[in-house]
Chains A and B, each alone.
Chain A
Amino acid sequence: KAGVTQTPRYLIKTRGQQVTLSCSPISGHRSVSWYQQTPGQGLQFLFEYFSETQRNKGNFPGRFSGRQFSNSRSEMNVSTLELGDSALYLCASSLVGGAGEKLFFGSGTQLSVL
């Protein structure tokens, strides 16, 4: 069974640009979550999608958005990039997003904003 796949693996952008990251969950998983990882802030929850609906959202500005498609694949978009958006963005999937479910993480997209 294939794991969680995130593309691209690395991205370099300049301030003011926008970026779209993609995540394909494990087959059969319907819940997809996104996390931002930085050395200073650690792992911070961005949002969670289930059945194409955003079910939970973290404390990030509106420049961060996402969506989920009918096949459970998810994308996140960051508009008007800032230097502080440089981070490893991790996607995780689980069957239905239940409280006791473990998350399966992708290898992440490393975003560098210059």
Chain B
Amino acid sequence: AQSVAQPEDQVNVAEGNPLTVKCTYSVSGNPYLFWYVQYPNRGLQFLLKYITGDNLVKGSYGFEAEFNKSQTSFHLKKPSALVSDSALYFCAVREGTGANNLFFGTGTRLTVIP
């Protein structure tokens, strides 16, 4: 069975500071890992994904994430936060079986304080 944990419901960071949104996962096989962002009254938007290869993945809007197999983590990071980054962030995992069942974490609300 697959699962995703986002241990923080809320993350607050000052504008210009680095931000980290944490995610750990559990799958039976090789993980396919994703980050999505949701703005108010909108659907989810894709930020980045890890399939294989380099453990550091770069995505949209200056976000990046580091895959750590030994810690089963896939934390989302950004060097300098913007007020416009304030949103709900979801980590998701899919087992590499071809099934399209993407399993989401419970989400972390990021607030960037001006």
Given contacts A100-B49, A103-B46, contact A33 B102 (CB under 8 A): yes
Instruction: Report chain A residues within 8 Å CB of B42.
Output: 107-108
**Is the C-beta of B70 less than 8 angstroms from some C-beta in chain A?**
no
Residues 72-114 of B contacting A (Cβ, < 8 Å): 90, 94-107
Q: Give chain B's interface residues, CB within 8 Å of chain A.
A: 32, 34, 36, 41-46, 49, 51, 90, 94-107
Give A104 Cβ to nearest chain B Cβ, in Å. Answer: 7
Instruction: Report chain B residues within 8 Å CB of A50.
Output: 100
In angstroms, Cα B92 to Cα A101, docked, is: 12
Interface size on A, residues (CB 8 A): 28
In angstroms, Cα B102 to Cα A22, docked, is: 21
In angstroms, Cα B101 to Cα A50, docked, is: 13
In angstroms, Cα B105 to Cα A100, docked, is: 18
Name the residue of chain B whose CB is nearest to the CB of A32.
B100
